[in-house]
Each structure stands twice: as C-alpha cells, then as structure tokens.
C-alpha cells in the first residue's frame, strides 16, 4: 500500500523533486510537486504516522495536476519511515509529547515551501498529519496560512489549548465508522469552533472507516474519498 520507496517515484508526469532541508541540525527530506501551468496557490501536506511515503507523493502530484504547488513536509527525519505498527506509534508519540517541536517542524516545512513557491498557502494532512494541522491552527503561529484541512485526523484538543488564536477557515473530513476517532470528538470540535465563531466545515461520511482515503488499502472507501477530495478542491478555490 505504502511500500514504494520515495526515490522510485521521481519519474512522474508532474515536475517534482526531493528536497533535503535541516531543522535543529537534523536532515529532513520533503517532496515538492510543481503545479502544471500557472499556479493557483500552494499546499503544505503533512504525512500520516508512517512518514512521507508514496501515498503523500501521490496526493502531492494530484494537487500539482490541479494547479497547486505542493510541498509534502517531513516530520520524522530523512530516512525515517517506520514500517512496524509499534515503531509508528513511537514516532507519533514523540511529537505528541513535544508539541512545541511538532509545530517547529511544521513551520520549517512551511518555510521550505516558501523557498520553492511564494504563493498563498493552505495546510492539510492525513491521519496523524491531520492532528498536526490542527495543532498548528490552534497555535496562531502561522498567521499567513489561508486555510487548514484534515482528513480522518486526530481531533482531540490537548489540555490547556483552544482555538482562540485561529486565523483561517478549517475543513474537516471524517468517517462516520471511524473507530479510532469517535464521533464524540467531532461533536466536541464543532462546539469549540462555534465558541470562537470560526469559519469551518465538517463533513461526515456514513460507513467510512479510519483512513478511508488511502487508496489500495482495505479501508479505502471510494465514495467518501471522492466527496472529501471534491470538497477540498472547492476549499482551495475559495481560500487561495
């Protein structure tokens, strides 16, 4: 499903390149897909719990085909692409326990993206990446970001955090049958966003499990994937 090596995916129809950059003296490796034709804007894509692999590359290429310069950031470090479930849990746990570092890594990805494209930006992510997107949205540390989008991502708000500093619209795509992130978290997020009069949209897809967008996996649900993708295309058109 996500086993292809990133290096094997460079010979794609869109103009693309691997990008090595440093954060706190450590090497990280992102992936930049250049928009076909005149760019409509930029997207920063944050990977799920197994790191930046062929799935994120595929999505970045799809966005480039739609006219968006897309930088898939790396939050784990160059060459760190865990395969075993326990290893994936350990990597995400490190960043959940050090949210300041998580935000610093996302901001580094934004800065690297800006070196490649000066267009206005939306930040989006899948699963773990979706939780990271909301972490950044709550922080208010990226005031120039024009929108945030999360697909089957973690929705719980850590103790002591809130959305008072939110500066841009949010789109949330969630599976109604997601056993990892229950609908109670969706409802709670809605309450929080309403409390700060946020500009947001939450879509729930009946029967869709966690990770419903991951093509080729047993959890993939085509209807929910296409609906969420089409809504996201509209979100980009509206905010970029």
For the chain, the domains span 6-239
Note the pLDDT of residue 2: 45
Res 7 pLDDT > 90: no
Note the pLDDT of residue 9: 42
Nearest CA to 106 out of 80, 83, 76 is that of 76
Per-residue pLDDT tens digits for 123-174: 999 999 999 999 999 999 999 999 999 999 999 999 999 999 999 999 999 9
Under the banding of pLDDT at 50, 70 and 90, the label for residue 190 is very high
Res 208 pLDDT > 60: yes
Under the banding of pLDDT at 50, 70 and 90, the label for residue 36 is confident
| Residue 176, token pair as written in the block | 């109604």
H-type alpha helices, the chain = 54-65, 85-97, 99-116, 128-139, 183-195, 222-239
What average pLDDT does the structure give for the chain? 94
Note the pLDDT of residue 87: 98
CB 78 within 8 A of CB 105: no
CATH number of 6-239: 3.40.50.1820
Cα atoms in the Cβ-side hemisphere of radius 13 Å centred on 119: 22
Per-residue pLDDT tens digits for 47-89: 999 999 999 999 999 999 999 999 999 999 999 999 999 999 9
Pairwise pLDDT comparison (55 vs 37), residue with the higher score: 55
Res 194 pLDDT > 90: yes
Note the pLDDT of residue 5: 38
The contacts of residue 30 (CB under 8 Å, 6+ apart) are: 18, 19, 20, 21, 52, 71, 72, 73, 74, 109, 112
CB 208 within 8 A of CB 179: no
Note the pLDDT of residue 10: 42
Res 121 pLDDT > 50: yes
Note the pLDDT of residue 13: 63
Share of the chain above pLDDT 90, in %: 93
Name the strands in the sheet holding 147-151, side by side, starting at the edge strand that comes first in the sequence.
Answer: 16-23, 26-33, 68-73, 41-46, 121-126, 147-151, 170-175, 200-205
Under the banding of pLDDT at 50, 70 and 90, the label for residue 37 is confident
């Amino acid at each position: 499903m996500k086993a292809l090596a990133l290096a094997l995916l460079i010979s794609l129809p869109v103009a693309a390149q691997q990008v090595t950059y440093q954060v706190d003296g450590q090497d990280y490796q992102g992936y930049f897909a250049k928009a076909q034709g005149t760019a409509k804007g930029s997207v920063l894509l944050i990977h799920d719990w197994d790191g930046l692999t062929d799935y994120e590359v595929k999505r970045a290429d799809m966005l480039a085909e739609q006219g968006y310069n897309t930088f898939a950031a790396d939050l784990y470090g160059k060459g760190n692409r865990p395969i075993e479930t326990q290893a994936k849990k350990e990597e995400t746990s490190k960043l959940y326990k050090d949210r300041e570092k998580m935000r610093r890594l996302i901001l580094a990805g934004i800065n690297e993206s800006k070196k490649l494209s000066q267009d206005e930006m939306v930040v989006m992510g899948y699963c773990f990446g979706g939780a990271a997107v909301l972490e950044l949205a709550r922080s208010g540390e990226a005031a120039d970001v024009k929108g945030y989008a999360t697909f089957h991502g973690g929705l719980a708000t850590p103790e002591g955090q809130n959305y008072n500093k939110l500066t841009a619209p949010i789109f949330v795509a969630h599976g109604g049958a997601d056993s990892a992130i229950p609908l109670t978290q969706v409802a709670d997020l809605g309450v929080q966003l309403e409390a700060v009069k946020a500009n947001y949209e939450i879509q729930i897809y009946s029967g869709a499990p966690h990770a419903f967008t991951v093509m080729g996996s047993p959890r993939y649900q085509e209807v929910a994937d296409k609906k969420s993708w089409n809504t996201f295309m509209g979100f980009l058109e509206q905010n970029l």
